[in-house]
Amino acid sequence: MTSVPISALEHHVYCPRQCALIHVEQTFDENVYTLRGARLHERVESGLETVEGGVRVVRSLPLASERWGIHGKADVVELRPEGPYPVEYKAGRRPALPALVQLCAQALCLEEMYRTSVPRGDVYCGGSRRRFTIDFDDDLRRRTAREIDTVRELLERALVPDAPNDRRCPPCSLYSTCMPGVVAQRRRLASLNAFLYRLAAEVSADA
């Protein structure tokens, strides 16, 4: 079974094509958003282990789950007396679904690694400097499980989905490589060609 990188889940929830360009075609580009994220993570990664308020805080912790077939790294895990508590750092103002799925996948790994349940974790948003607590409820766990299966299939079959060419594209770091406008135009031309082909076939059948 192909082990799925947890980061691929986040990319896939944002845009399946972005996930494929990064994890199938190994394309990566920086833009202002990824650089902001990288700066935030540099701060997280400095000082790998500390004790805060009596709680051991581990940074850049490698994660893996045999059961789910996923692997990755947690920005921060607080080793609280009741169990591990993951904290993911994001540059935006509020956590979005890609980050929730990523955090939930981290929790699945921690549950297997520490043989315990991990009912919630936090997303720290650098843009608002706030921590948001996320419950790993059944819906989020189901969504995460679905993403794991879908991304595994995408990786194993080396699929590169079509470009949605919507509001996700302008802030995407892969915009210039992906060229979503060109892809969408090609798609429109292909469906126009198919329509003209069908029309010509009908006309010649009627003649």
Binding site for ligand SF4 (CB under 6 A): 15, 17-18, 21, 163-164, 168-169, 172, 174-175, 178, 180
76/101 with CB nearer ligand SF4: 101
Start-end of H helices in 27-119: 32-45, 97-114
> Considering beta carbons, is residue 110 or 178 the nearer one to ligand SF4?
178
| Shortest spacing between CB 47 and ligand SF4, in angstroms | 33
Closest of 140, 142, 131 to residue 78, by C-alpha: 131
Classify the C-alpha dihedral 68-72-76-80 as positive or negative: positive
Between CA 80 and CA 181 the distance in angstroms is 48
Q: Which two tokens stand for residue 43?
A: 């701060």
Which lies closer to ligand SF4 via its Cβ, residue 17 or residue 152?
17
Residue 207 is encoded by which pair of tokens?
């003649």
Residue with tokens 């929730």: 100
CB of 189 to ligand SF4, least distance (A): 18
Q: Which lies closer to ligand SF4 via its Cβ, residue 16 or residue 86? A: 16
CB of 33 to ligand SF4, least distance (A): 11
The least distance separating ligand SF4 from the CB of residue 30, rounded to whole angstroms, comes to 14
Block residue for tokens 């190994």: 26
Nearer to ligand SF4, 80 or 188 (CB): 188
* Three-class secondary structure of residue 180 per DSSP: helix
- For residue 79, the number of C-alpha atoms closer than 13 Å in the C-beta half-sphere is 11
CB of 23 to ligand SF4, least distance (A): 12
